[in-house]
Chains A and B, each alone.
Chain A
Amino acid sequence: MFTEEQIRRYSRHILLPEVGGAGQRRLLAARVLLLGAGGLGSPTAYYLAAAGVGTLGICDPDVVDLSNLQRQILHAEADLGRPKVDSAAEKLRALNPDVRVVCHRTGIDRGNALDLLADYDLVVDGTDNFATRYLVADACHLAGKPLVHGSIFRFEGQVTVFLPGEGPCYRCLYPEPPPAGLVPSCQEAGVLGVLPGIIGTVQAAEAIKLLLGIGRPLVGRLLTYDALEMDFHTLAVHRDPACSLCGDTPSITALGEYGFSCEVGACPTA
């Protein structure tokens, strides 16, 4: 049952026939793991907390740095040097005390990935390098967890949804990561500060749709966004029967080695 306060807090959701009281209860019962409390994770976390997603796990090993504040809106100047998970938890609890925020002050790696995912219904990837992207994609597929993928580079972003058993996976989309050294590192690349706000918010919308079971998620579709041209395109993504992870005869059946590269964009820069 809702409290009086919850009925008021979530009234604009409850008024939507597609959500209603039943949908809002689903959100309150849902458990979402956010990987990264940075550029993408900030808006995603805020909107999922505001929406009343009952349990939000926040996984991030880093502390807040001044160079983060150009885009990572969960954090403020007073948080400099604090663990991002602590800064995030404080902001999210202040926004909505209904939300149970679980802090995982760690990176995700092959040793902890499956344990981390086990307690959650859905994963939102806001990590920042290819090695972790492939690890997360493999782990979610092996664990059967829906994954809302978002990535950014300079002025461009991409969002898609991977539902194990119901569509393509990350390795169908991009079979292999670029070799180390071919692409700029995190620090070298630069990013338009508002870009993760747009892409992270789209990820939040997809996560909420999946939790509610409404609409048409970005399964088998890649949404691309270009801030300079200001256009969105939707491209088809197909399951590859020869895929090493989800194909007919997969070669990846457990988490492997992913390297430690920090590259964020694939095209060798001109």
Chain B
Amino acid sequence: MSVKVRIPTPLRRLTAGQGEVQSQGAAVSQVLADLETQFPGMHERLFDEAGQLRRFVNVYLNEEDIRFLQGLDTPVGEGDLISIVPAIAGGA
């Protein structure tokens, strides 16, 4: 499956500034693994040492948080949109 992935600004240095990239996979975990292959360094920014998605980074399949679907095993379909949304706290 080919899906689009939205990249948050802090990670765009890895994608040469692109805010949306194409990635491949049948499940969210494969899509994120393909991102690492294309853009080395992505994995360590999204996952902790134990291999779990960091608790302050949410991944959405279309509009749904994958934590409330099947997590990293959530299947993806052709043309789906994956969004990586980190917590942010600025306001001043």
A residues in contact (CB < 8 Å) with B? 36, 38-41, 68, 72, 125-130, 132-133, 150-158, 173-178, 186, 189, 191, 196, 222, 224, 226, 228-229, 233-238, 240, 263-270
A153 vs B9: C-alpha distance in the bound complex, in angstroms?
A: 9
- Given A130-B89, A267-B86, A236:B64 Cβ within 8 A: yes
Are A237 and B90 in contact, with the CB atoms below 8 A? Answer: no
> Could you tell me the distance in whole angstroms from the C-beta of A66 to the nearest C-beta in chain B?
14
- Given A125-B91, A229-B19, A154:B60 Cβ within 8 A: no
Are A155 and B9 in contact, with the CB atoms below 8 A? Answer: yes
Q: Select B9's contact among A41, A177, A226, A238, beta carbons within 8 Å.
A: A226
Inter-chain contacts of B12 with A (CB < 8 A): 270
Are B91 and A224 in contact, with the CB atoms below 8 A? Answer: no
Are A189 and B19 in contact, with the CB atoms below 8 A? Answer: no
Inter-chain contacts of B67 with A (CB < 8 A): 240
Are B86 and A150 in contact, with the CB atoms below 8 A? Answer: no
Q: Which 9 A-B pairs have the closest CB atoms?
A: A270-B13, A264-B90, A153-B88, A266-B86, A128-B92, A38-B92, A267-B10, A176-B55, A174-B87
Q: Select A235's contact among B8, B55, B85, B88, beta carbons within 8 Å.
A: B85
> Could you tell me the distance in whole angstroms from the C-beta of A42 to the nearest C-beta in chain B?
10
Q: Which residue of B lies closest to A36 (CB)?
A: B91
Most chain-B CB neighbours within 10 Å: which of A174, A175, A236, A267? A267
Are A177 and B87 in contact, with the CB atoms below 8 A? Answer: yes
A186 vs B92: C-alpha distance in the bound complex, in angstroms?
A: 8
Inter-chain contacts of A235 with B (CB < 8 A): 58, 60, 63-65, 83, 85
A-B contacts besides A36-B91, A151-B90, 20 pairs, CB < 8 Å: A39-B90, A39-B91, A41-B91, A126-B91, A151-B89, A173-B87, A177-B87, A226-B6, A228-B9, A228-B19, A235-B58, A236-B63, A236-B68, A264-B89, A265-B10, A267-B8, A267-B11, A267-B86, A269-B10, A270-B13
- Given A233-B83, A235-B83, A270-B45, A153:B57 Cβ within 8 A: no
Are A174 and B58 in contact, with the CB atoms below 8 A? Answer: yes
Label chain B's interface by main secondary structure: mixed
Are B20 and A152 in contact, with the CB atoms below 8 A? Answer: no
B79 within 8 A of A: no
User: Can you sample 28 A-B contacts with CB below 8 Å?
Assistant: A36-B92, A125-B91, A126-B92, A128-B90, A129-B89, A130-B87, A133-B89, A151-B89, A151-B90, A153-B10, A153-B89, A154-B9, A156-B8, A173-B58, A177-B56, A186-B92, A233-B83, A234-B63, A235-B58, A235-B83, A238-B68, A264-B88, A265-B10, A266-B10, A266-B86, A266-B88, A267-B86, A270-B10
Q: Which residue of B lies closest to A189 (CB)?
A: B90
> Could you tell me the distance in whole angstroms from the C-beta of B42 to the nearest C-beta in chain A?
9
**CB interface residues, B 47-61, toward A, < 8 Å:** 54-58, 60
Are A270 and B89 in contact, with the CB atoms below 8 A? Answer: no
A14 vs B92: C-alpha distance in the bound complex, in angstroms?
A: 33
Inter-chain contacts of A176 with B (CB < 8 A): 55-56
A255 vs B70: C-alpha distance in the bound complex, in angstroms?
A: 32
A269 vs B86: C-alpha distance in the bound complex, in angstroms?
A: 11
- Given A173-B58, A226-B19, A270-B45, A152:B91 Cβ within 8 A: yes
